[in-house]
């Protein structure tokens, strides 16, 4: 069995389309530049949270944590926000206000979840590794919290729309059986498995600790209100925990991991089942204009 270590991102690309994995990671095909807007915004709020957590002591006041967060956000926005990514100065300013509202709500001194995240944080950007049945996996966890019950691993996102939930977890089995194409939720399952199992190999894990995993959307709900002097944007974030889904669908998730891992290490890049992939993945694929598998379907029409 290959000892190649793979990340949830690579596994998810393969689950989306084996040919897409081939073009992206094996052949390293360069695609046309795409907007960096949301990538840069992700960098801003990730680095803001990371620095706040790293600089916070458990005894720090809520007000001090909040003030620290807003100062760091302003500095990160100035560092990473690029005017060329936006349609206009007004567009860039709106995005700044929206993202700042998300960070401000997260670190609200009156009950914001970020206050506890900062106080309980024991590791940010934490590299984790695990192995199952000879298949090595790795990933980087945004934040690891020490709670009363054990450890809580957090992955921060812009929002949790479309993230794996108890109501959509059955799609994992359908993806495995070839009856559906659900790579985004499969990716969430990969992340959950790798981070829960990987953090158990860290020195701060103790036998018997409860390990939880959550995605946290900073901008799950936003609202816009016009004012006499302009506008106000408010935001609210909240988590989507997938620990129980991992426990309930444990065998299915690891079958999905084995299928993707073995496909990658075995260099099996034929897109199957292609009808689903062609319908669901091809329209948004960066390689669609050069992909022989997709172009062949155009010729046959």
pLDDT tens digits for range 30-77: 765 555 677 888 999 999 999 999 999 999 999 999 999 999 999 999
Q: Do residues 267 and 201 share a domain?
A: yes
Q: Mean pLDDT, to the nearest integer, of 203-225?
A: 96
Residue 198 has phi, psi (to 5 degrees) of -65, -40
Q: Do residues 72 and 23 share a domain?
A: no
Lowest average pLDDT, out of 24-28, 115-119, 196-200, 229-233, goes to: 229-233
User: Which helix (H) or strand (E) segment is 68 a member of?
Assistant: helix 62-80
Q: Do residues 165 and 109 share a domain?
A: no
Q: Mean pLDDT, to the nearest integer, of 223-249?
A: 93
Q: Do residues 297 and 151 share a domain?
A: yes
Q: Do residues 51 and 151 share a domain?
A: no
Range(s) of the domain holding residue 77: 35-120
Q: Is residue 192 part of a domain?
A: yes
Q: Is residue 179 part of a domain?
A: yes
Number of domains in the chain: 2
Q: Is residue 173 part of a domain?
A: yes
Instruction: Note the pTM of the prediction, 2 decimals.
Output: 0.92
Q: Do residues 84 and 164 share a domain?
A: no
C-alpha–C-alpha distance, residues 98 and 25, integer Å? 34
| Mean pLDDT of the residues in the chain | 93
Q: Would you tell me the crossing angle of helices 62-80 and 89-106 to the nearest 10 degrees?
A: 150
Q: Do residues 155 and 282 share a domain?
A: yes
Number of alpha carbons in the 13 Å side-chain half-sphere of residue 275: 3
Confidence (pLDDT) at 22: 93
Q: Is residue 129 part of a domain?
A: no
Confidence (pLDDT) at 36: 67
240 by Cβ neighbours in 10 Å (0-12 / 13-18 / 19+) ranks as buried
Encode pLDDT of 119-173 as tens digits: 999 999 999 999 999 999 999 999 999 999 999 999 999 999 999 999 999 999 9
């Amino acid at each position: 069995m290959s000892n190649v270590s793979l990340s949830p991102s690579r596994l998810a690309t393969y689950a989306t389309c084996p040919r897409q994995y081939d073009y992206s990671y094996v052949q390293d095909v360069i695609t046309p530049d795409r907007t960096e807007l949301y990538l840069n915004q992700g960098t801003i709020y990730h680095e803001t949270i990371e620095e706040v957590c790293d600089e916070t002591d458990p005894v720090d006041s809520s007000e001090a944590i909040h003030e620290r967060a807003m100062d760091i956000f302003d500095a990160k926005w100035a560092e990473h926000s690029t005017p060329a990514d936006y349609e206009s100065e007004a567009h860039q300013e709106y995005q700044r206000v929206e993202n700042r509202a998300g960070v401000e709500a997260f670190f609200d001194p009156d009950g914001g979840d970020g206050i506890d995240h900062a106080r309980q944080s024991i590791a940010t950007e934490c590299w984790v590794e695990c192995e199952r049945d000879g298949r090595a996996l790795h990933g980087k966890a945004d934040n690891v919290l020490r709670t009363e019950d054990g450890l809580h691993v957090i992955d921060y996102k812009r929002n949790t729309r479309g993230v794996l939930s108890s109501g959509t977890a059955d799609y994992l089995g359908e993806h495995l059986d070839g009856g559906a194409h659900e790579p985004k939720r499969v990716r969430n399952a990969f992340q959950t498995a790798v981070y829960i199992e990987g953090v158990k190999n860290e020195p701060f894990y103790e036998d018997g600790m409860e390990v939880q995993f959550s995605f946290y959307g900073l901008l799950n709900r936003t609202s816009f209100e016009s004012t006499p002097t302009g506008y106000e944007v408010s935001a609210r974030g909240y988590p989507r925990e997938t620990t129980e889904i991992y426990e309930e669908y444990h065998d299915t998730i690891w079958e999905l991991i084995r299928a993707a891992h073995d496909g990658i290490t075995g260099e099996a890049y034929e897109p199957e089942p292609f009808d689903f992939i062609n319908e669901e993945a091809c329209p948004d694929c960066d390689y669609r204009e050069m992909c022989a598998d997709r172009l062949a379907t155009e010729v046959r029409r």
